[in-house]
Amino acid sequence: MANERRAPLGTAASARFVPGLVLAFAGPPAVAAASLALSPSAAATTANVLGQLALWLLAAGLLAITRFVERLPLASIGLRPPTGSSVLAGALAAFVLLYAATPIGSWLVGSLGFADLGAGLARLRDLPRPVLVAAAVTAGAVEELLYRGYAIERLATLTGSTTLGAAIALAAFTLAHWPFWGAGAALFTLVPGAVLTALYVWKRDLGANVLAHAATAMVQLLGVATTPSG
């Protein structure tokens, strides 16, 4: 499946994918930058909740583009009724993310001398737990929709290669974490991002990806909440 080839679209047909790809790639970094800009003048909880709402608006906009601009079914971005296979694949992927990808990502960041994960974590440590749970669900649903279901499928169609489309989407996903988290955490994100990318290319089931991402984020964020600062 990873080496799947497609016939690239012509220029006119490709143009209809531009609004969605711009929204998918530029939207989350813009939201993160706005959240950081808002933080000095607003409570951390308020800034975080507003950021989450903005991400959901991005997701709604992308779904609208898919249906009414591209005139394609939601199944074209991996949205289909969940099955037992979706749940099993998502649960297995979450296990890999927590117990393999996370340690490897942490080792990679440390071995290269990056030490800026703490700043991003400090912004989350004092948030109420319900907000952290909502943040995990938001990250799982919105990021998987934008960077996996939509970006991989559309880039695969545009380039004629699922492998190339997945690689570009993974790079965009990694860089999108830089504004809020910093370079080290963006690099860390590359490892779990690769796992989630492989899961989507294998299953083409966005529900499995959302489950894996949200469950992993929830465990990690709640872990941050229970870790003393300093």
Residue 229 has pLDDT above 60, yes or no: no
Residue 124 has pLDDT above 70, yes or no: yes
Mean pLDDT estimate for the chain: 89
pTM: 0.90
CA distance 211 to 54: 21
Give mean pLDDT, residues 107-130: 77
Angle between helices 129-138 and 206-225 (to 10 degrees): 150
Is the pLDDT score of 23 beyond 90?
yes
Judged against a pLDDT cut of 70, whether residue 9 lies above it is answered with: no
Kindly state the average pLDDT of the residues 79-94.
96
Domain boundaries, the chain: 11-225
Q: Can you tell me whether residue 215 is helix, strand or coil? A: helix
Compute the distance between CA of residue 180 and CA of residue 133 in angstroms, rounded to an integer.
18
What is the per-residue pLDDT for 25? 96
3-state SS class at 205: coil
What confidence tier does 205 reach under pLDDT thresholds 50, 70, 90? very high
| CA 200/CA 197 separation, integer angstroms | 5
Mapping DSSP onto H, E and C, the string for 12-39 reads HHHHCCHHHHHHHHHHHHHHHHHHHHHH
